[in-house]
């Protein structure tokens, strides 16, 4: 599954804009990302497994906040930063 | 060759870290390029034990909080592999929004540091900031939610735990301060805690003798007189002789038209009777800018019995705000005193506060100024 990476997180991915990782849920993909790019998950998800206030995850075009959301059949998952002020 | 690279100021801002380096006379300072530009840096502290390990609290407008480490004064940074975090499944549902305060541990515990968080958690590392663990005796204390006013978090930018102090005689003797919540003390390395707020005013609480709920802004312990604590509180300036167990309002000795409201307080490294504060306006709607727009540092040399105004070199009119981590002292003789403003200026005195010079301007909002004397790299 291709996961698109926003600019604030590209320091973790070596500036890659998208990476391919395996998993059947959003949580799986984030775990797989963290295994390849240590630390990336905690910048997106807090210690109670909640998406951080100013981060968003889209499965295709659908915004999700439940990390157990399945990704089977989706074309891509996009991590985006939300508006957060100046 | 000296093993000392000279005086350095670590300036944490809302938009990154700047490092200011002094010449040998501390008369000229160079300002670095920004490091971690755009990152919110509440605190950056060099380990005084090895004078190489630099820890920096970090978050951004989007990303969660973490700690970065550097052993080359910021040339390269490494992120903590396990940043400060509450326990997953925490009964209060807490997650760290920001690491607000960093404090090196006891001299006999190299690699140990404490971190104070927002919300008001306490965390400890034993490997120089690579992996952090919650201090369960505080975070899971049965009275934590009362002491920390959870989940109200009345402080405008969120509640924060700060002023983590380790008794230089005893690594198990700790003090912490909560904004809001008060000062707390542990004598068993953080397993249990008791409030330490007797004598403090809290004009925002109905009970004038409340045991907790106060708003300490900055608490300092003098390393050469470790039974003496100073505090700049929301409601004034205080000193405590620990055996008395009661805070005395030494700010009552400040000029009435200036008052004793502010955020930072700093202590002379060799004289326990000398301290500096930066008063701000606590009248009316609490502007918390220099009273009457006339900025000054006030110093006491008799433990708060009297205060001396120092404004030579400072602007005649300016509405400075100085946050609680944004004042610092060095260890030279005479002592250098420094402060940073929310308007992005850094001011320095190399004569113990008597006269002041601007050493940096046009920085972002300054959250923290820490002095460091790094080992020669």
Query: Between the CA of residue A30 and those of A5, A53, B44, B82, B90, what are the distances in Å?
Result: 11, 17, 30, 16, 21
Tokens representing B266? Answer: 């700093």
Q: Average pLDDT, whole number, for chain B?
A: 96
What is the per-residue pLDDT across A26-84, written as a single tens digit (0 to 9) for each? 999 999 999 999 999 999 999 999 999 999 999 999 999 999 999 999 999 999 998 77
pLDDT recorded at residue B273: 98
Cβ <8 Å between A48 and B95: yes
B91 touches A: beta carbon within 8 Å: no
Q: What angle do CA A30, A36, A37 make, to 5 degrees?
A: 80
Q: How does pLDDT run across B19-64, given as a tens digit for each residue?
A: 999 999 999 999 999 999 999 999 999 999 999 999 999 999 999 9
Of B89, B14, B50, B90, the C-alpha closest to B373 is B50
Q: How far apart are CA B142 and CA B219, in angstroms?
A: 24
Instruction: Please name the member of B62, B80, B94 whose beta carbon is closest to the beta carbon of A54.
Output: B62
Closest approach of B268 to chain A, Cα-based (Å) = 37
Kindly report each contact of residues B105-112 with a partner whose C-beta sits within 8 Å and lies 24 or more positions away, as own/partner.
B105/B166, B105/B171, B106/B166, B106/B168, B106/B170, B106/B171, B107/B49, B107/B168, B108/B171, B109/B171, B110/B49, B110/B50, B112/B171
Quick one: pLDDT band at residue B9, thresholds 50, 70, 90? very high
Kindly write down the DSSP assignment for every residue of B297-359, as one continuous string: EEEESSTTS--EEE-BTS-SS------TBSEEE-SSSSPPEEEE-TTS-EEEESSTTSB-EEE
Q: In this structure, are residues A27 and A67 in contact, taking their beta carbons and an 8 Å threshold?
A: yes
Q: What is the pLDDT of residues B168-215, one digit of tens each?
A: 999 999 999 999 999 999 999 999 999 999 999 998 999 989 999 999
User: Best mutation site among A9, A42, A49, A84 for testing chain B: the one with the most B CBs within 10 Å?
Assistant: A42
Nearest Cα neighbor of B29 from B376, B359, B375 is B359
Label residue B4 by pLDDT band (50, 70, 90): low
Looking at residue B2, what is its pLDDT?
43
Which chain A positions have a beta carbon within 8 Å of B94's beta carbon? 48
Q: Do A38 and B96 count as a contact with CB atoms less than 8 A apart?
A: no
Q: Examine the pLDDT at B377 and tell me if it is beyond 70.
A: no
Is it the case that residue B327 has pLDDT exceeding 50? yes
Residue B136: alpha-carbon gap to chain centroid = 23
Query: Bridge-partner residues for B177, per DSSP?
Result: B162, B183
Rg of chain B's alpha carbons, rounded to an integer? 19
pLDDT classification of B153: cutoffs 50, 70, 90: confident
Cross-strand bridge partners of residue B122 = B116
What ipTM goes with this model?
0.92
pLDDT for residue B157: 77
Give B357 to chain A, closest Cα distance, Å: 30
Which residue from B61, B95, B96 is facing A85, i.e. has the nearest CB?
Answer: B61
Of B62, B87, B93, the CB nearest to A55: B62
């Amino acid at each position: 599954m291709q996961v698109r990476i926003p600019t604030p997180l590209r320091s973790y991915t070596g500036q890659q804009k998208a990476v391919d990782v395996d998993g059947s849920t959003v949580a799986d993909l984030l775990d797989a990302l963290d295994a390849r790019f240590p630390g990336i998950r905690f910048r997106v998800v807090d210690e109670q497994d909640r998406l951080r206030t100013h981060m968003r995850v889209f499965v295709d075009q659908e915004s999700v906040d439940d990390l157990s959301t399945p990704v089977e059949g989706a074309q891509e998952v996009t991590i985006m930063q939300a508006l957060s002020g100046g | 060759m000296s093993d000392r690279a000279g005086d350095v100021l670590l300036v944490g801002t809302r938009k990154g870290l700047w490092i200011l380096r002094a010449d040998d006379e501390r008369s000229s300072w160079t300002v670095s390029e920004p490091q971690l530009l755009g990152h919110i840096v509440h605190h950056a502290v060099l380990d005084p034990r090895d004078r190489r390990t630099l820890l920096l609290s970090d978050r951004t407008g989007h990303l969660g909080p973490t700690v970065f480490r550097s052993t080359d004064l910021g040339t390269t940074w490494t992120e903590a592999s396990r940043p400060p975090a509450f326990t997953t499944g925490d009964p209060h549902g807490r997650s760290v929004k920001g690491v607000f305060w960093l404090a090196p541990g006891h001299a006999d515990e190299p690699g140990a540091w404490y971190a104070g968080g927002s919300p008001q958690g306490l965390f400890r590392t034993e490997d120089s900031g690579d992996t952090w663990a919650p201090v369960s005796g505080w975070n899971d204390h049965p009275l934590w939610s009362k002491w920390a006013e959870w989940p109200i978090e009345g402080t405008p930018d969120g509640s924060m735990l700060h002023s983590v102090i380790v008794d230089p005689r005893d690594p198990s003797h700790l003090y912490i301060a909560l904004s809001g919540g008060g000062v707390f003390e542990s004598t068993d390395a953080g397993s249990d805690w008791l409030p330490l707020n007797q004598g403090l005013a809290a004009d925002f609480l109905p009970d004038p003798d409340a045991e907790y709920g106060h708003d300490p802004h900055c608490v300092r312990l003098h390393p050469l007189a470790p039974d003496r604590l100073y505090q700049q509180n929301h409601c004034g300036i205080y000193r405590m002789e620990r055996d008395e167990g009661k805070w005395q309002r030494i700010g009552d000795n400040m000029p009435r038209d200036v008052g004793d409201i502010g955020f930072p307080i700093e202590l002379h490294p060799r004289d326990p009777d000398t301290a500096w504060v930066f008063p701000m306006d606590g009248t009316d709607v609490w502007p918390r800018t220099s009273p009457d727009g006339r900025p000054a540092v006030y110093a006491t040399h008799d433990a708060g019995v009297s205060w001396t105004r120092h404004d030579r070199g400072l602007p005649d009119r300016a509405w400075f705000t100085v946050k609680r981590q944004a004042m610092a002292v060095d260890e030279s003789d005479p002592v250098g005193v420094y402060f940073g403003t929310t308007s992005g200026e850094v001011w320095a005195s190399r004569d113990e506060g008597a006269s002041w010079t601007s050493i940096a301007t046009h920085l972002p909002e300054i959250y923290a100024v820490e002095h460091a004397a790094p080992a020669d790299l």
